[in-house]
Structure 1
């Protein structure tokens, strides 16, 4: 028997409704914040992620699904959404749109070769937003607020924002030199990844999980001590906007994020109840990424979260989403001619916007009523030979047990009336 690949999962009926609810909530909150949906290809040229995500990141070095197509081109299943969105922004000249900044969101599958665990799969679904074209600290705060409001409206609690500034290019250069001087005398004590990153990108050393407990890691130079006046002022404005919005945060000077494109604001949203995987959202500002992708020097900021971790947090906190799984109407036809009429009525109900179904296994009346119960049908319409001769159907309210006869042409409105009364 062929089974689902490791690190992937089938999302079945009964569970998919939770995904749909969360995705609908994401789309609704993006509508309110005036973010528009974008859909990019699932695979891109590999160079996009080397340039956009960073050569020295774990994603590029260890986790990408890369292959050659029949034309010898190197392609990669997208491991994250920002690089693709920025590529599309540049390629489609969205900087020329009249409404700026360009505010986009995406929901779709991403792929990383990681060790599968709860809330972390090799194929996972990301919801993310990108605001491209503004240098305002207010839009940094808006981005964080959008994520927090999304979680709050799902009912999640015990969340907090961890915040840091990675500064501008000048600040990062000074911090980079301090990191090299700090780690270089003892770099031989670190893992091979850290050793290879010392000169290429020493900031990535701070993101290492294997050497996280080393003393040199704990007392490494922090970026906040190397911010120039402009970067410090920017960070102060972001914090003030968050204060004004009533969004609590803690400054974490060790927060660097796992991607190379971040500048200035970096943040994570943490949940205290899901164990080792406690980060449920991460993002930040990337002022040099658009230029790196061949565009003009346009700033941007965004975040991404996995739907799997949202579901895990909801489960951990015991939150049940208000999912409506009931069927509006189940139609039963007894006898060949009645079955034909039931089939036609089924189409009428569906055209009127009602969810409806019938038996397709030629079961007895009792078995069909049980099927209606399993489907949690709000109403049942029954047509027998007698009803067929008189041009009526029996409409049963499954909650109260009340029954009434209804002319065929009035079945849809009668079913709708029963549903409205029971709300």
Structure 2
């Protein structure tokens, strides 16, 4: 019986993985320009971190985490998201003692046991940004502007930024009271999850995708109805900064996000082509999370996006191409001595920074040239007994179909110059 990969996972193969490299290169470039530094946290953490950090009322903690005991019977969980881990590192590694704010980003695999569907996997990959140690509205606007800029550079079209303020603990208490009063007469019609949320976190009922719950909550009080003056002023300034940055946004009073730790600004970026679950990025402010996991009171904001979802959106908009590059030059060696000399030349080309390859199966001239063309090589350096005697190689341009002899001492400088010229185009 053939062993297959687990359900909800995928193999990222040579060729198509070039799309991932392209996306990750742009991510790192944008983060560098915005002054964000990379952080890498463990793939598994103490289960309590996510129970306290993500929230025990969330679907992630209640239904989707991969949790297991280790050999010392400690409960560990494969990370389902990145924010809690970054906050744990901020506390444990005393990043709060550095100059504030601390601006971080991460790229890596996450794990959730949920139903696989288009663009969603049980092992998936996230890019996320976290800014810790700053509470000003301009920080919220910078975080949203960063992801907006990233999507613009990727070529994504028809984007919508939805923003809301979910308030602070002070004004959230009044909203919770009003929301419960509104829902109480029809509480029995809510789905089982929302009946539990009614007691523990009724705000999340507004985020439920169940059509019945959406109908029951239609017309319910929103956070916009109960924002305190400070939260209202903060949200207004965020919008002013977004307008100044040229970011197109839409206030959405029903946007609450699916995690318990959000306060004040919450946002999602939508693209309709990828179906009903159209969000390709979500985030917001979580000023109480660092304190919740044992750190000092720390304002913070961030976002996360699933890379599979972004790639799916790019593909649906026909703005995604295989970008993995093959060798620029291929050494075509015919005969044992030519193979030895050719391998030496291959090593020199690689050390000079020229992507180069060579046939490893001892095939004939025609087969080697065919393989070089299939790999997308620009140049072929042909070596046989006759060329070795005269200390030359045949330099064939596989794109133009032209060829010429080149003296052995000139090969490295000539090929390097052509590669540099190609890279500068």
Q: Same fold (TM over 0.5)?
A: yes
Give the number of equivalent residue pairs.
422
Give distance in 1, aligned partners of 2:241 and 2:316.
Answer: 31
The gaps in structure 2 that reach 5 residues or longer are none
Give distance in 2, aligned partners of 1:174 and 1:120.
Answer: 36
Question: Aligned with 1:3: secondary structure?
Answer: coil
Give distance in 1, aligned partners of 2:38 and 2:18.
Answer: 21
Question: Aligned with 2:305: secondary structure?
Answer: strand
Matches within 5 A, 1:3-402: 3-98=4-99, 100-321=100-321, 323=323, 325-402=325-402
Give distance in 2, aligned partners of 1:260 and 1:213.
Answer: 19
Question: Aligned with 2:410: secondary structure?
Answer: helix
Give distance in 1, aligned partners of 2:227 and 2:66.
Answer: 37
After TM superposition, give the deviation of residue 33 of structure 1 in Å.
Answer: 0.4
Contact 1:191 1:211 in 2 (8 A): no
Give distance in 2, aligned partners of 1:7 and 1:301.
Answer: 30
After TM superposition, give the deviation of residue 324 of structure 1 in Å.
Answer: 5.3
Give distance in 1, aligned partners of 2:214 and 2:27.
Answer: 40
Could you report, residue by residue, the CA deviation over 1:237-264 in whole angstroms, capped at 9, with x for unpaired residues? 0010011111111111000000001000
Question: Aligned with 2:67: secondary structure?
Answer: strand
Give distance in 1, aligned partners of 2:356 and 2:223.
Answer: 60
Question: Aligned with 1:273: secondary structure?
Answer: helix
Contact 2:191 2:213 in 1 (8 A): no
So what's the TM-score if we normalise by structure 1? 0.97
RMSD in angstroms over aligned alpha carbons?
A: 1.3
Give distance in 2, aligned partners of 1:82 and 1:213.
Answer: 29
Give distance in 2, aligned partners of 1:146 and 1:187.
Answer: 40
After TM superposition, give the deviation of residue 419 of structure 1 in Å.
Answer: 3.3
Q: Per the alignment, do residues 133 and 206 of structure 1 end up closer, same or farther by CA in structure 2, a change over 3 Å counting? A: same
Give distance in 2, aligned partners of 1:405 and 1:374.
Answer: 23
Contact 2:189 2:216 in 1 (8 A): no
Could you report, residue by residue, the CA deviation over 1:199-251 in whole angstroms, capped at 9, with x for unpaired residues? 21111222222255553311211011000111100100001001111111111
Give distance in 1, aligned partners of 2:276 and 2:209.
Answer: 12
Give distance in 2, aligned partners of 1:142 and 1:159.
Answer: 17
Give distance in 2, aligned partners of 1:215 and 1:107.
Answer: 37
Of stretches 139-148 and 213-222 in structure 1, the one that deviates more from structure 2 is 213-222
Partner of 2:403: 403
Q: Per the alignment, do residues 214 and 104 of structure 1 end up closer, same or farther by CA in structure 2, a change over 3 Å counting? A: closer
Could you report, residue by residue, the CA deviation over 1:340-365 in whole angstroms, capped at 9, with x for unpaired residues? 11111111110000111111111111
Give distance in 2, aligned partners of 1:20 and 1:194.
Answer: 40
Contact 1:190 1:211 in 2 (8 A): no
Q: Per the alignment, do residues 358 and 308 of structure 1 end up closer, same or farther by CA in structure 2, a change over 3 Å counting? A: same
Of stretches 271-280 and 181-190 in structure 1, the one that deviates more from structure 2 is 181-190
Give distance in 2, aligned partners of 1:138 and 1:318.
Answer: 34
Could you report, residue by residue, the CA deviation over 1:37-74 in whole angstroms, capped at 9, with x for unpaired residues? 00000010000000000000011111111111111011
Question: Aligned with 2:274: secondary structure?
Answer: coil
Contact 2:392 2:406 in 1 (8 A): yes
Q: Per the alignment, do residues 197 and 421 of structure 1 end up closer, same or farther by CA in structure 2, a change over 3 Å counting? A: closer
Question: Aligned with 1:108: secondary structure?
Answer: strand
